[in-house]
Homo-oligomer: A and B are copies of this chain.
Amino acid sequence: MVRIKKPPEVRSNELLDCAQRLFFTRGYESTTVNDIIREAGVSKGAFYHYFPSKEALLETLAVRLSRENLKQIQPHFDNPSINAIGRLNALFAGSRRLKVELAPQLRNTFNVLFKPENVVLFHRINEALTAVVQPLLANILKQGHAEGSLDASDPQAFALMLLELRLSVGKVMHQALKQAEAGDIDGAVTMLDDWMLTYGIALDRILKLPEGTLQVAEPGFARAFLTSE
* A→B interface (CB under 8 Å): 116, 119-120, 123-124, 127, 153-154, 157-158, 160-161, 163-165, 167-168, 171-172, 194-195, 197-199, 201-202, 205-206, 208
Contact = CB atoms under 8 A, between A and B. Distances in A.
Contacts of A195: 154, 157
A interface, by DSSP: helix, strand, loop or mixed?
helix
B171 A160 contact: yes
A21 B163 CA distance: 33
A221 B167 CA distance: 28
Contact of A198 (B119, B154, B167): B154
Given A119-B119, A158-B198, 6 more contacts: A123-B123, A154-B198, A157-B168, A161-B165, A164-B167, A205-B205
Contacts of A202: 158, 161, 206
Given A164-B165, A165-B164, A206-B205, A194 B157 contact: yes
